[in-house]
Amino acid sequence: MTRRISKYKRFLMMNPIIQFFKFIYLSIKIMVVVAGGHGGTREIN
């Protein structure tokens, strides 16, 4: 095993309070990407 994720980064990744806000942020961000619509690629309107 080679430590590639520092202790500080791991703390940020696993801290429930920080991650709670991340959860809200991610839910919204993912919704924006996914519900942001889709369409064709062949016709340019």
Q: Give the binding site for other proteins (CB under 8 A).
A: 1-5, 12-16, 19-20, 22-23, 26-27, 29-36, 38-42
User: Alpha helices of 1-45 — where are they, by DSSP H?
Assistant: 7-14, 16-34
Nearest distance, CB of residue 43 and other proteins, angstroms:
8
Nearest distance, CB of residue 25 and other proteins, angstroms:
8
Q: What is the DSSP letter of 5?
A: S
Nearest distance, CB of residue 7 and other proteins, angstroms:
12
Phi (first) and psi of residue 25, to 5 degrees: -60, -45
- Give the total residue count for the chain: 45
